[in-house]
Amino acid sequence: MQIAEENSDILALECTESRENTKKLFEQLKALGILEIAQTGAVALSKRIPKD
């Protein structure tokens, strides 16, 4: 997990863990009183250079 963005109003974390570990993280954050949690699905990125 790493901090993706931080300022006086927001702290955005990037978590690239397994679903099980992510679920545990969300449970811990909710217990702290976090107001909003957003989750995206799996993302795949290619390292290949696109051909024209």
Per-residue model confidence as pLDDT tens for the chain (52 residues): 888 888 888 888 888 888 898 889 888 988 998 878 877 777 666 667 777 6
How confident is the model at residue 45, as a pLDDT?
A: 62
Which is nearest to 37 in space by CA: 18, 16, 11, 2?
11
Q: Which residue shows structure tokens 């300022």? A: 7
What does the alpha-carbon distance between residue 18 and residue 49 come to, in Å, rounded to a whole number?
28
* pLDDT for 52: 66
Per-domain boundaries in the chain: 2-31
pLDDT of residue 13: 82
